[in-house]
Amino acid sequence: MTEIGGATRVYALLGDPIAQVRAPGLLNPVLARRGTDAVLVPVHAPPADLTQVVRGLQRVANLDGMLVTVPHKAAALDLADRASDRARLAGSANALRREPDGTWTADTFDGDGFVRGLAGAGHHPRGRRACVVGAGGAGSAIAVALLDAGVAHLHLSDTDPDRLETLRRRLSAAYPGRVGATARPRLADADLAVNATPLGLRPDDPPPFAVAELPAHAVVADIIMTPAETLLLAQARARGLRAHPGEPMLAHQIDAYLDFFGL
């Protein structure tokens, strides 16, 4: 990868936990191959310290952007001066860019990356019924992108009723008649079920939902990237369902990040 010198431009990837993140390992070699003197560095920001960390990084004059992962995607939106329509609709951002005037713009590429990855694996969601489990930052962005990609119906679930209702109301207004929400996932008639919770990051996590409740033709998608084979995906495969891992969502975002940051 690129040698880091004094003139190297810096990008930060914020998350908690941080050790599992894959973006530096994917993005830095691309920058090096292009001869771009820039580096993406992991930044472990505990939730209670996120605002102070971001406000500090925003004052770093050679830091041009941030990527944001679990659990900071909703909070990141409020730390920018403006946001794209899709990020506002999702209530979530995974990228912040410094503008020439020093203000910060937020956008989210999770949803677009997820849908591109899904379509690339032969599972285009158009006309399908989708169930997204987890209405946090990634889940919200994926829900928006699935609706934009033409799902017939989108069902949301989350254990936090306030968060769920806030997102349901915003999406129902933008996509009338196509959005439902309940605390428990509605799996029985789902063509596609997506884990958008952090469950699966830790070895002792329970599965985020019961694959036994899905129809036999369903696709089960996970956004967890580390481990590549989560308990959920293993259970889906064991039942004969099609399993779609987390990696393609990120891989399909790399070019979008480079465009967004002007790299």
Residues binding a second copy (CB under 8 A): 1, 3-8, 10, 16, 18-22, 24-25, 28-29, 39-46, 49, 52-57, 59-63, 226
Min dist. Cβ of residue 110 to a second copy (A): 17
State the Cα–Cα distance between residues 63 and 79, nearest whole angstrom. 15
The angle that helices 137-148 and 110-120 make with each other, rounded to 10 degrees, is: 60
Min dist. Cβ of residue 104 to a second copy (A): 14
What string of DSSP letters covers 76-120? Answer: HHHTSSEE-HHHHHHT--SEEEE-TTS-EEEE--HHHHHHHHHHH
Min dist. Cβ of residue 263 to a second copy (A): 16
Is residue 73 annotated as part of the catalytic site, yes or no? yes
Q: Which is nearer to a second copy, 61 or 212 (CB)?
A: 61
Q: Which of 68, 71, 73, 87 is catalytic?
A: 73
Nearest Cα residue to 53 out of 65, 61, 62, 44: 44
State the Cα–Cα distance between residues 210 and 236, nearest whole angstrom. 9
For 72-109, b/e burial (b = at least 16 CB within 10 A) is bbbbbbebbeebbebbbbbbbbbbbbbeeeeebbbbbb
Min dist. Cβ of residue 197 to a second copy (A): 19
Min dist. Cβ of residue 62 to a second copy (A): 4
Min dist. Cβ of residue 250 to a second copy (A): 12
Q: Which is nearer to a second copy, 26 or 119 (CB)?
A: 26
Q: Which is nearer to a second copy, 26 or 256 (CB)?
A: 26
91: amino acid identity, one letter: G
Nearest Cα residue to 207 out of 217, 216, 198, 218: 198
- Number of other residues whose CB lies within 10 A of the CB of residue 44: 14
Q: Which is nearer to a second copy, 52 or 159 (CB)?
A: 52
> Distances from the Cα of 175 to the Cαs of 148, 150, 170, in angstroms?
9, 10, 9
Q: Which is nearer to a second copy, 91 or 137 (CB)?
A: 137
Task: Decide: residue 244, CB within 10 A, 0-12 exposed, 13-18 middle, 19+ buried.
Answer: buried
Q: Which is nearer to a second copy, 3 or 204 (CB)?
A: 3
Active-site annotation, residues: 73
